[in-house]
Amino acid sequence: MFGGFELRRCEGDGARLRVRHGGRGPAVLLLHGHPRTHATWHRVAPLLVAAGHTVVCPDLRGYGRSSKPPTDADHRPYSKRAMAADCVAVMRGLGHERFALVGHDRGAYVATRLALDHPAAVSALSVLDAVPVGEALRRCDATFAARWWHWFFLGQTRKPAERIINADPDAWYQDTPEQMGAEAYEDYRRAIHDPATVHAMCEDYRAGLGIDREHDEADRRAGRRIGCPLQVLWATGDDMADLYGDVPAVWRDWAGDRLDGGPIDSGHHIAEDAPGPLVGALREFWRSTAAHGPHRE
């Protein structure tokens, strides 16, 4: 897994992140979702390196073996703003001032916040299986609440979800080595059996219901948009189209001059289920937006 990549710990902005990086060429930052670690990209990262890119895959703060800062009443240490600041610090520490950015699931929220807060750093943004946090909550209806009830369960503080998850993490998450690959599965399983990681992952959701929504709504009121080209991809086996119909339309008020997107024949974990089609879609997007960033080939 990740042959030829270097594994190290890098300083973020108040957290230390476990980071895997390798390759040469234009930089790409890959951000995982819940409850994964950076290992979810182990089938994608080598393909991007072979195509001539430097690839950086961190564990987000709180996840995997990255540090877990103490939280506060607003859950601010687990806001997407804090996570995004970590990622920018890591990339600068590795010598990458500007890079393409790909985020899946919770990582897509971090990626969106990074593009909004640090526009000069991002040449192109790709989000997988996500709409902005504020948009999801603003559009929440009975269907969303029934299918995505875990947002509200994990976000509770009076009856914390950690006690239930920690009682049997394997039964709660129900992922398999066949889907993920044996080494990636062991990395993920070590994470979900760590109560500190489970707590931090719940804090991510608590921030999502509060301070992350506030940040999104403030940007929406101010008319802020994502300045770089934006690609929206979603899995046919997920429920994004059922919930939102025209998924890219949800992003139009957030996008600048360039918005692309489309479905990928996959389950929710696209990087594990369909790495080849995902890399193909990413590289075609980067080629088509070469004038906007460093992805000249």
Catalytic residues: 105, 268
- The CA distance from 283 to 263, in Å, is 15
Residue 85: phi and psi, rounded to 5, are -65, -40
* Distance from the Cα of residue 177 to its chain's centroid: 21
Distance, in Å, from the CA atom of 229 to the CA atom of 143, rounded to the nearest integer, reads 31
The residues, ordered by sequence, that sit 6+ positions from 261 with a Cβ below 8 Å of its Cβ are 231, 232, 233, 234, 247, 248, 251
Q: How many CB atoms lie within 10 A of CB 162?
A: 17
